[in-house]
């Protein structure tokens, strides 16, 4: 019996010690991280995955990669492209050859040197990898090193998004030894401004980056240390912000008031557009959708302003375009193309030969439950009867991409205009499930690709709005919350700011 009471006493002691340890920490338990400007602590919405640049993603996860991997080019918060590891870049006259001149003073953190053959190896590694963005180098036909620090990318066709991609994931450079080593997925080795400190990193909990002492442009990165904590739960992110444990994180419209009341800085940046993808534009499944007037009727049928105000709390901007307001294809004048006008919708349906409307099957997706009911009802009000068919959460994307639904609600993260055309507009784009194409649109796209001018892109946009290929409602705001001790510059076309958009507040 002695044993029992000893065990009991130990248990009591342990419990007491636990409580005492808690009380003993009378001063704030988490050290204030931002006051010195030494450490930047970010809360991330998703955990890191692979460290192989070939698997690098735009969006949330790019923040994990940017401290370790430098890219060939650089992109500013104004979307300007600047030299970076490539000190110079030049296209030939018809945009099918890109010549990159590289810096000669760059060393990877494992001591390997950076040169043209390394850049070529990295680009080929990215292109032949199975990452989600391997396709961004799809237009690159061959890569030729024309000197120790010069290489030429031969393109099968002009790629107006190439420079931007080379400034982000597609241009990230890993050490040649690491490319060969086979451990890149779990151990990053780059030439970036920081090094992942494995001793101070706990996977799934905290990623710590310390300065790369050999870095060629340290002045561009003011913090001595960057810590990224994956906090997948919004409440946990807000609590960590309010308790001073992190300096910045992504939030949402509903938490803006709470964040402001706690003395935090709140900034917004236009993000995804939400609305209807009308994809059966040849009427394969639902013949009515082949008529542009029917698709226009869908644009008139839904009270986008009402949904934006009531459900998105006004955090966004009404639009009729699929292109991001910061992109070269955007044209402000087009936003007044369709207003909420159910009578006009009915008239257009009647004109198209559907005075009694028609029936269409649309997915019932849990993630869009808040906007779905009202949209389906408003479509019903003009005579378009929606039969909602449930889709399991983990199968939404694959079901939509299979072309099962002739039209559906979606939230699309538009970015670079050419990138969006490749993903949702071109006849072979994954989100053009029925491979719709018209000679006029093909010609407009070809001009935009060859010339890359704003006018040419806006012409594509105008066609899509007029022909009502989609029924966008609004671009909603991304909400980013930060401590007043950190100055954050928002980044268009990415859900979170890039790592170089952070600085200590003055």
The site for other proteins (CB under 8 A) is made up of 1, 4-5, 8, 11-12, 14-15, 17-19, 21-23, 25-26, 28-30, 47-50, 52, 57, 130-135, 185-186, 202-206, 229-233, 235-236, 239-240, 242-245, 262, 392-395, 397-398, 401, 423, 428, 430-431
Q: Please, which residue, 90 or 180, has the CB nearer to other proteins?
A: 180
Q: Please, which residue, 290 or 437, has the CB nearer to other proteins?
A: 437
Residue 473 C-beta: closest distance to other proteins, Å = 19
Q: Is 458 exposed, middle or buried (0-12, 13-18, 19+ CB in 10 A)?
A: buried
Q: Please, which residue, 9 or 218, has the CB nearer to other proteins?
A: 9
How far is the C-alpha of 255 from the C-alpha of 481, rounded, in Å? 9
Q: Are strands 140-147 and 150-155 parallel, antiparallel or unpaired?
A: antiparallel
Please give the structure tokens belonging to residue 184.
């890149």
Instruction: State the number of CA atoms in the 13 A half-sphere of 441 facing the CB.
Output: 17
Q: Please, which residue, 207 or 209, has the CB nearer to other proteins?
A: 207
Residue 235 C-beta: closest distance to other proteins, Å = 6
The answer to whether the beta carbons of residues 175 and 190 sit under 8 Å apart is: yes
Q: Please, which residue, 19 or 505, has the CB nearer to other proteins?
A: 19
Residue 416 C-beta: closest distance to other proteins, Å = 12
Residue 262 C-beta: closest distance to other proteins, Å = 8
CA 295 to each of CA 141, 383, 445: distance values in angstroms, whole numbers, following the listed order: 38, 13, 21
State the alpha helices, DSSP H only, in 172-233.
Answer: 176-181
Residue 45 C-beta: closest distance to other proteins, Å = 12
Q: What is the DSSP letter of 422?
A: I
Residue 489 C-beta: closest distance to other proteins, Å = 26
Q: Please, which residue, 204 or 355, has the CB nearer to other proteins?
A: 204
The answer to whether the beta carbons of residues 250 and 236 sit under 8 Å apart is: no
How far is the C-alpha of 355 from the C-alpha of 374, rounded, in Å? 22
Please give the structure tokens belonging to residue 358.
């028609």
Q: Please, which residue, 242 or 344, has the CB nearer to other proteins?
A: 242
Contacts (Cβ under 8 Å, ≥6 apart) of 499: 63, 66, 67, 221, 226
Q: Please, which residue, 115 or 420, has the CB nearer to other proteins?
A: 420
Residue 275 C-beta: closest distance to other proteins, Å = 16
How far is the C-alpha of 174 from the C-alpha of 177, rounded, in Å? 8
Rounded to a whole number of angstroms, the distance between the first and last alpha carbons of the chain is: 66
Residue 16 C-beta: closest distance to other proteins, Å = 9
């Amino acid at each position: 019996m002695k044993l029992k009471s000893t065990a009991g006493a130990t248990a009591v002691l342990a419990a007491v010690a636990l409580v005492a340890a808690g009380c003993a920490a009378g001063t704030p338990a988490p050290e204030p991280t931002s006051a010195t400007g030494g450490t930047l602590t970010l809360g991330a919405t998703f955990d890191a995955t692979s460290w192989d640049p070939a698997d690098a993603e735009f969006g949330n996860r790019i923040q994990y990669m940017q401290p370790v991997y430098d890219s060939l080019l650089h992109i500013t918060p104004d979307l300007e492209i600047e030299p970076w590891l490539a000190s110079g870049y030049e296209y030939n006259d018809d945009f099918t050859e890109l010549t990159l001149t590289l810096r000669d003073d760059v060393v990877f953190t494992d001591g390997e040197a950076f040169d043209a053959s390394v850049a070529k190896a990295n680009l080929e590694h990215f292109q032949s990898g199975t990452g989600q963005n391997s396709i961004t180098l799809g237009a690159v036909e061959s890569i030729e090193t024309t000197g120790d620090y010069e290489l030429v990318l031969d393109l099968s066709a002009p790629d107006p998004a190439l420079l931007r991609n080379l400034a982000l994931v597609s241009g990230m450079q890993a050490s040649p030894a690491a490319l060969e080593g086979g451990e890149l997925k779990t151990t990053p080795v780059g030439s970036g401004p920081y090094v992942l400190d494995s001793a101070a990193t706990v996977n799934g909990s905290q990623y710590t980056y310390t300065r790369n002492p050999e870095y060629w442009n340290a002045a561009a990165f003011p913090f001595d240390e960057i810590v990224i904590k994956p906090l997948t739960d919004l409440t946990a992110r807000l609590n960590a912000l309010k308790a001073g444990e992190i300096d910045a994180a992504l939030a949402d419209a509903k938490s803006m008031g709470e964040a402001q009341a706690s003395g935090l800085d709140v900034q917004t940046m236009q993000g995804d557009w939400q609305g209807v993808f009308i994809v059966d534009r040849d009427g394969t499944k639902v013949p009515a959708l082949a008529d542009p007037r029917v698709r226009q009727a869908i644009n008139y049928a839904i009270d986008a302003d009402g949904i934006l105000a009531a459900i998105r709390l006004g955090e966004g901007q009404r639009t009729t375009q699929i292109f991001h307001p910061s992109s070269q294809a955007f044209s402000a004048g087009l936003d007044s193309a369709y207003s909420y006008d159910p009578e006009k919708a009915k008239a257009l349906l009647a004109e198209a030969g559907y005075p009694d409307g028609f029936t269409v099957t649309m997915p019932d997706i849990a993630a869009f439950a808040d906007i779905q009911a009202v949209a389906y009802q408003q479509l019903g009000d003009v005579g378009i009867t929606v039969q909602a068919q449930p889709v399991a959460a983990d199968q939404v994307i694959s079901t939509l991409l299979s072309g099962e639904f002739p039209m559906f609600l979606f939230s699309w993260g538009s970015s670079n205009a050419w990138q969006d055309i490749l993903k949702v507009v071109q006849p072979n784009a994954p989100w053009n499930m029925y491979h719709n194409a018209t000679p006029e649109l093909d010609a407009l796209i070809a001009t935009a690709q060859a010339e890359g001018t704003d006018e040419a892109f806006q012409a594509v946009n105008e066609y899509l709005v007029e022909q009502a290929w989609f029924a966008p409602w609004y671009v909603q705001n991304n909400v980013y919350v930060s401590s007043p001790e950190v100055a954050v510059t928002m980044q268009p076309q990415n859900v979170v700011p890039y790592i170089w958009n952070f600085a200590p507040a003055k």
